[in-house]
């Protein structure tokens, strides 16, 4: 029998070192490991209950080699939604998500969640909460400040919420 599980594909995008892998692993395993493979792009498949419906999450944890390397169009073609991550400690990573959004232009419309990670490192903050909120308004998306190093629930909520948006768009287009 063919599985009729609903699939939701999410690409996690952001500059190197912002915590994309830490956030992804937190969501999938509830654990924080601290060090991850920095070389390889990783795909995960994981079943999660979303509002008592089983959803097969496919998550692409991308791995740009540097600040200049932007996601390819095939990533946007593949994804149902994007989680755009920057680190509050890294101004350049904030500019990176801005550039990602600009290069997508209007060619790709899909639910987006903007995430500011490393909120535990307030003493090294380079990007204010307000700047994040303003960018999210510009993107017309939600914004959450998190610390993969410390949180579980709030990070899961980002993935669940963007999944709910995907499901809601699909229902409307039916």
The helix/strand/coil state of 6 is strand
**In the complex with ligand GDP, which residue's Cβ is closer, 19 or 71?**
19
Please give the Cα distance from 174 to 170 (Å, whole number). 6
Cα Rg for the chain, rounded, in angstroms?
A: 15
If contact means CB under 5 to 8 A according to the sort of partner, which of Mg ion, ligand GDP, none does residue 14 touch? Answer: ligand GDP
Q: Which residues bind ligand GDP (CB under 6 A)?
A: 14, 16-22, 34-36, 38, 117-118, 120-121, 147-149
Question: Which residues make beta-bridge pairs with 7?
Answer: 56
**In the complex with ligand GDP, which residue's Cβ is closer, 40 or 105?**
40
Residue nearest to ligand GDP (CB): 19
Residue 24 lies near Mg ion (rule: CB under 5 A): no
Q: How many CB atoms lie within 10 A of CB 6?
A: 15
Q: Report the nearest approach of ligand GDP to the CB of residue 110 (Å).
A: 21
Residue 21 lies near Mg ion (rule: CB under 5 A): yes
If contact means CB under 5 to 8 A according to the sort of partner, which of ligand GDP, Mg ion, none does residue 149 touch? Answer: ligand GDP
* Cβ contact 161:143 at 8 Å: no
Q: Report the nearest approach of Mg ion to the CB of residue 45 (Å).
A: 18
**127, two tokens:** 């990007």
CA distances from 11 to 2, 87, 105, 128 (A): 25, 17, 17, 25
Q: Applying CB under 5 A, which part among 16-24, 79-87, 93-101, 109-117 lies near Mg ion?
A: 16-24
Residue 89 lies near Mg ion (rule: CB under 5 A): no
Pairing mode, strands 53-61 and 42-50: antiparallel
- Note the residues at the interface with Mg ion (CB under 5 A): 20-21
């Amino acid at each position: 029998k063919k599985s009729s599980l609903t699939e939701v594909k999410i690409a996690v995008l952001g500059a190197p070192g912002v915590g994309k892998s830490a956030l992804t692993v937190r969501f999938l395993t509830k654990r924080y490991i601290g060090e991850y493979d920095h070389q390889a792009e990783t795909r995960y498949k994981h079943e999660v209950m979303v509002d008592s419906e089983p959803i097969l999450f496919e998550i692409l944890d991308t791995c740009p080699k540097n600040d200049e390397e932007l996601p390819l169009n095939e990533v946007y073609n593949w994804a149902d939604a994007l989680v755009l991550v920057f680190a509050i400690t890294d101004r350049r990573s904030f500019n990176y998500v801005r550039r990602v959004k600009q290069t997508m232009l209007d060619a790709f419309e899909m639910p987006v969640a903007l995430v500011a990670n490393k909120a535990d490192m307030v003493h090294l903050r380079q990007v204010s909460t307000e700047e994040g909120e303003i960018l999210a308004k510009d993107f017309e998306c939600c914004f959450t400040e998190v610390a993969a190093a410390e949180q579980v629930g709030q990070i899961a909520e980002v993935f669940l919420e963007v999944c709910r948006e995907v499901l809601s768009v699909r229902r409307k287009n039916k």
